[in-house]
């Protein structure tokens, strides 16, 4: 329990983790950014919702620390929008005692929350904790299996050489499958891993799997690559092709 601020490397990657701090109160923002900076993170800041979205788009942070109360667009909405653009862990800052908000935050998909006033130390611990469990695997190198190839950096996917036009979610889903061939995942697993949150209607996963099949499989009605495991979920089967 000596030096809590030991510099941290991003999980799996060989660069420092980027954190985006969103708060309209400069004091809070300053303090938070300061501590995270000293803890060895690359910190970016935004003081309202729209700015946060732009910054997130530009800098692709590994984690977002987000105040629940923001002028204009509140934290929940920002969180939702961030999530819609791809899986990114979010830590919510809430006023003490906003019980309802906290539960709400968790349901919307915050990975954790910290109540104000908080000690910076606590925040840093939280950030480390969330980052640690967010992505042990890098997910930036090209992948290929069963005639399907995915290039995460270029955000392009091909099937037998021909390009697939996938949406964001479809791409993330396919990437995840390629990263874990032969393994069975529940819808819940996929929701957590691909969408980035633990709650929500699981039929969403079903629908996206169907759409992905429609683009990847020869005969979507009799899928070979993405097989369904009855009563469990789905499994990517590279050998199926």
Q: Which positions lie near DNA, rule CB under 7 A?
A: 1, 53, 77, 81, 84, 165, 167-170, 187, 195, 200-201, 203-204, 206-210, 213, 220-221, 223, 228-233
Sequence-ordered list of residues with C-beta below 8 angstroms from that of 88, at least 6 positions apart, any chain:
56, 61, 62, 63, 64, 82, 196
121 binds, among DNA, its own copies, none (CB under 5 to 8 A by kind): its own copies
By CB under 8 A, tell whether 138 contacts its own copies. Answer: no
Q: Could you tell me which of 58, 67, 78, 60 has the C-alpha nearest to residue 32?
A: 67
180/187 with CB nearer DNA: 187
Q: Which residues of 67-88 are buried (b: 16+ CB within 10 A; e: fewer)?
A: bbebeeeebbebbeebbeeebb
By CB under 8 A, tell whether 144 contacts its own copies. Answer: no
Contact 212, 205 (CB under 8 A): no
50/119 with CB nearer its own copies: 119
Give how far the C-alpha of residue 84 lies from the chain's centroid of Cα atoms, to the nearest Å. Answer: 9
119 binds, among DNA, its own copies, none (CB under 5 to 8 A by kind): its own copies
55/134 with CB nearer its own copies: 134
56/93 with CB nearer its own copies: 93
Site for its own copies in 197-216 (CB under 8 A): 198-202
Judged by DSSP in three states, 133 sits in: helix
211, β-bridge pairs: none
């Amino acid at each position: 329990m000596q030096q809590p601020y030991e510099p941290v490397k991003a999980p799996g990657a060989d660069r420092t983790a980027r954190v985006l701090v969103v708060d309209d109160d400069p004091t809070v923002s300053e303090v938070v950014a300061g501590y995270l900076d000293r803890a060895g993170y690359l910190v970016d800041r935004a003081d309202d919702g729209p700015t946060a979205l732009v910054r997130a788009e530009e800098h692709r942070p590994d984690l977002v620390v987000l105040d629940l109360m923001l002028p204009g667009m509140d934290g929940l909405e920002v969180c939702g929008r961030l999530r819609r653009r791809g899986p990114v862990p979010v830590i919510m800052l809430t006023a003490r005692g906003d019980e309802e908000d906290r539960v709400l935050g968790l349901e919307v998909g915050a990975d954790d929350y910290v109540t104000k006033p908080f000690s910076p130390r606590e925040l840093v611990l939280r950030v480390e904790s969330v980052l640690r469990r967010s992505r042990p695997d890098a997910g930036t190198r090209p992948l290929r299996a069963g005639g399907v190839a995915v290039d995460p950096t270029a955000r392009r996917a091909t099937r037998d050489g021909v390009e697939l036009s996938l949406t964001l979610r479809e791409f993330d889903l396919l990437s995840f499958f390629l990263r874990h061939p032969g393994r069975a995942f529940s819808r819940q697993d996929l929701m957590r891993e691909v969408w980035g949150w633990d709650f929500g209607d699981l039929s969403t996963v079903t629908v996206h799997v169907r759409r992905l099949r429609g683009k990847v499989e020869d005969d979507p009605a009799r899928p070979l690559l993405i097989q369904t495991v009855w009563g469990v979920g789905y499994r990517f089967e590279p050998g199926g092709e």
